[in-house]
């Protein structure tokens, strides 16, 4: 029984670390302008993906992605 509990704890720790690491990468990319938050659904997307969506849409239609804003993060105090 203790082995299962230990394995469960280790799995949770690995998951937490992976989520933390992914979040750090996304925050860095967002701060550097490599990612943007799309207004339509508040989804974090690559700038290239957003531009591809804009290029494939009809020029007469005003796509919500055109209004996407680049979020700025305040620098973390160290």
The answer to whether position 73 is within a domain reads no
The answer to whether position 75 is within a domain reads no
The answer to whether position 63 is within a domain reads yes
pTM of the entire predicted model: 0.56
Question: Considering its fold, how many domains does the chain have in total?
Answer: 1
Residue 37 predicted with pLDDT over 50: yes
The answer to whether position 10 is within a domain reads yes
Structural domain containing residue 9: 2-67
- C-alpha dihedral sign at 48, 51, 56, 57: positive
pLDDT above 70 covers what percent of the chain?
A: 63
The answer to whether position 74 is within a domain reads no
Residue 66 predicted with pLDDT over 60: no
């Amino acid at each position: 029984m203790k082995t299962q509990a230990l394995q469960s704890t280790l799995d949770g720790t690995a998951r937490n670390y992976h989520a933390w690491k992914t979040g750090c990468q996304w925050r860095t990319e967002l701060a550097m302008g490599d990612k943007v938050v799309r207004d339509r659904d508040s989804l974090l997307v690559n700038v290239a993906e957003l531009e591809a969506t804009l290029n494939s849409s009809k020029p007469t239609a005003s796509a919500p992605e055109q209004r996407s804003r680049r979020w700025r993060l305040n620098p973390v105090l160290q």
